[in-house]
Chains A and B, each alone.
Chain A
Amino acid sequence: MCIEVEKLRLKFPESESPLFTGLDLKIGKGEKVLIVGPSGSGKSTLLNVLGGLIPDTITIPMKADRLELPKSSAYVFQDPDSQFTMPTVAEELAFVLENRQVAEEEMAPLFTEALDMVGLDVAPERAIQTLSGGMKQKLAIASALLQQADTLFLDEPTSMLDGKSAAHLWDTVRAMWDELTVVIVEHRVEALWHQVDRVILMDDTGGIACSAPPEEMLEVHRRLLDRYGVWHPHSWEAAPHLPKIAPEPGTMMEAKNLSIRRGGRPLLTVDSLRIGKGEWITLEGDNGTGKSSLLLALMKLIPSGGKVLFGGGRISRTRHLAGRVYPVFQNPELQFITNRVFDEVFINLEMHYDDRTARRETDALLERFGLSHVAHLHPLEISTGQKRRLSVATAAGGVPEILIFDEPTFGLDQRHAFGLLTMIHDMVKRGTSVIMITHDAEIMRRYPSRRLRIEDGRLVERGDRYA
């Protein structure tokens, strides 16, 4: 056995009830295990216990009747930007070797070897800041390799990557994992599911609901997976059926000869883009092709050449359309300005109603967004899915005519993703136009009335257009 845990009890000091009350887990040497579960089920916490980060580094009281942990372990974390210490690739890899007290002259060949193994073809003196998300995660794996650990813990390593980079990253992990015990926590599992030896499903009370080989999990326990709202390769079969809505006549917004530059070079040109009333448009394209920049340019939040027209008039500043066109950014936290979830919505509505009505309307809106039970909390305290919904709710009151989303289902579990899509569908039905950046092929296939794609620096129309 590589890992053996019996009767694990753990409680966060600030929470009322314990997270784990007697969890048992065994993972064999060389086994590849995928842990899935609803948000808040303690997957990451469990991973941190298994790797010995809790209680040594993260001080959280815990007890177990038996705790056998790997002698040496390495982690790859979710956020590429908060796991590197040093400015350049070489220095970052050296950081691990310095910790192991490897002699200075032996370091360089080890870098080359590790970078080769993960297929990261960059100069060692390259600044980490200039790497893409996928490259950063490969670097994290290279640095884990240099730790010479026998167990690798991966905590949602692909959650910030596009589909292509994510698939690529799993190829990299698979190419080097033969000798290792690997424990993975992950939401996006399509590329991974059938590669692991075993899938462990956590329930929402801090226990293990089910543990089985991946095929058996899908065949026998699929209903359990759906019940806990966990993504699996067949999740989309249970997706909500939202009939495509025919756009209404009339143009909401138009862009002509838009050109966007980045770092002095042309990034994207749009000859003509017309957004009709009640359209649901998806925007696809690889990382770094300028999808987010296009949305910012439409809002006049970054400079661009060409014309943007809204409601027939030419727009030169953000405030000419703010409120009527509303973007929900990738990091919803930056959109919050008050100290309470309730206030976050209330300050919008108090502009339109008297105090009593505004309170009532706020309650109703929070109810609709499934946020009533967290109304008293600080907006930064709630879960990722709740934050995303709250940031949509912050558009309330203005009744936006166009809603812009930058990867709205990122990091959401199945239940919340489907909930959000249904909500967006409701809004489209009421005549709001939606533009949405997404990497999810299933969303592109199922819901939009029109698909756009950025290819070779140009915006192009994809088929599937609503007749």
Chain B
Amino acid sequence: MPEAVKRYSTFADRVNPLVKIFVAVGLFLTVILIHDPNHLFHLAIIMFILLFILSGVKYIYIALLTGAILFFGFISSLYMIFYGEGTTTIFRLGIIHVTEESAVRGLHIMMRGITLSFFGALIVFTTRITDVFYSLMQQGRLKPKYAYSFMAAVRMVPIIAGEYMALRRARKVRRALIHRKYISGLRGFISTLVTLLSQSIRRAWRLGVAMESKGFDDGPRTYYHRTTYSIHDLHFVLLILLGVILSAFLGEWFSPFDTVDAR
């Protein structure tokens, strides 16, 4: 993550990226198996607190991100809320039929989404992309040729974005001189795609040649960033585990929803 958005670093920055990925998979399965909305309600709050404390990101970015996560979470739950089945009607207008059951189910889905989003954001804010690949090579036995190709590809993204902006400007200027059909719709889309792809493919090819000219091959190598498993990894796993268990207890103690099964 760019250093510009960070205020401080925590132990979460030093957790092995692979461990984070495994925890993420574990959390995903757990969240899917939680059917008690009260439990999930507290888990979402705990994940937000972890993001707030452990990410070390400036408040403004956390605020913006939280706003976006809540907004999209709510939008995605609307389908379930409006059209889901249920017996206790709260509101009905044409094809929209909100029932108590569908509202709970919708909110349940929203909480699943935001729980995982908060945790995902924590991982993104505390992991450098290069560390992911270094870790995949050292602990995950990924072949260097794949790892370095991906790291090189990541470097290309801002370059391609800049190129796209330049392309749009060039088109804006040419637009006045030619028929619309060449520049808008499918034809315009295809020519944009062909141009950008051809630039990228040639750049990738040149980069490949440059990498090999620097002595890169798939053989044995040393690593500048040594990634290992550490005590931080254990702390991180335990922390998330604790969060899941704690949220279950909190769900019994304070239950905003009447039901314990959203299905």
Contacts and interface: CB of A to CB of B under 8 A. Distances in A.
Nearest to B198: A380
A319 interface: yes
Interface string A77-108: 10101111111001100111111111110010
B213 A53 contact: yes
Given A77-B210, A98-B224, A323-B176, A85 B151 contact: yes
Contacts of A100: 215
Contacts of B211: 85
A350 B212 CA distance: 48
Interface in B176-226: 176-179, 182-183, 188, 191, 195, 198-199, 203-204, 206-217, 220-226
Contacts of A394: 174, 177
Contacts of B94: none
A51 interface: yes
B143 interface: no
Contacts of B170: 329, 334-335
B92 interface: no
Contacts of A95: 148, 214, 216, 224
Nearest to A350: B179
B252 to A, nearest CB: 47
Interface string A350-363: 11000000000000
Interface in B157-183: 158-159, 163, 166-167, 169-179, 182-183
B166 A331 contact: yes
Contact of B215 (A94, A99, A103): A99
Contact of B177 (A90, A103, A333, A395): A395
Given A99-B221, A338-B191, A319 B210 contact: no
A318 B173 contact: yes
Interface string A139-180: 000010001000000000000000000000000000000000
A437 to B, nearest CB: 15
Contacts of B27: none
B221 A337 contact: no
A334 B170 CA distance: 6
A101 B222 contact: yes
Contacts of A377: none
A296 interface: yes
A380 B196 CA distance: 11
B130 interface: yes
Interface in B220-246: 220-226
Contacts of B174: 322, 335, 337, 394
Given A85-B207, A319-B176, A99 B169 contact: no
A333 B199 contact: yes
Contact of A337 (B155, B182, B214, B223): B182
A315 B172 CA distance: 15
User: Interface size class for chain A?
Assistant: 35 or more
Contacts of A338: 182, 191
Given A57-B209, A347-B179, A81 B203 contact: yes
A57 B176 CA distance: 45
Contact of B224 (A87, A94, A323): A94
B45 interface: no
A114 to B, nearest CB: 13
B179 A99 contact: no
A424 B188 CA distance: 30
Contacts of B166: 329, 331, 334
Contacts of B136: none
A333 B172 CA distance: 15
A299 B215 CA distance: 46
B212 to A, nearest CB: 4
B259 to A, nearest CB: 49
A395 B174 CA distance: 8
Q: Which of B151, B155, B195 has the most CB of A within 10 A?
A: B155
A337 B177 CA distance: 13
A104 B212 contact: no
Contacts of B173: 299, 301, 318, 322, 326-327, 335
Q: Which of A79, A87, A329 has the most CB of B within 10 A?
A: A87
A289 interface: no
A108 to B, nearest CB: 9
B213 A74 contact: yes
Nearest to B163: A334
Contact of A86 (B130, B163, B191, B213): B130
Q: Pick the 5 closest A-B CB pairs, nearest first.
A: A323-B176, A94-B224, A322-B176, A83-B210, A99-B215
8 contacts: A87-B129, A91-B224, A96-B215, A99-B217, A101-B222, A104-B222, A319-B175, A331-B163
Interface of A: 48, 51, 53, 56-58, 73-75, 77, 79, 81-87, 90-91, 94-104, 107, 128-129, 143, 147, 296, 299, 301, 318-319, 322-324, 326-327, 329, 331, 333-338, 347-348, 350-351, 380, 394-395, 397-398
Given A86-B151, A86-B152, A301-B173, 17 more contacts: A53-B213, A74-B213, A81-B203, A83-B206, A85-B210, A86-B155, A91-B225, A95-B214, A100-B215, A301-B172, A322-B177, A323-B177, A329-B166, A333-B199, A334-B170, A337-B174, A350-B179
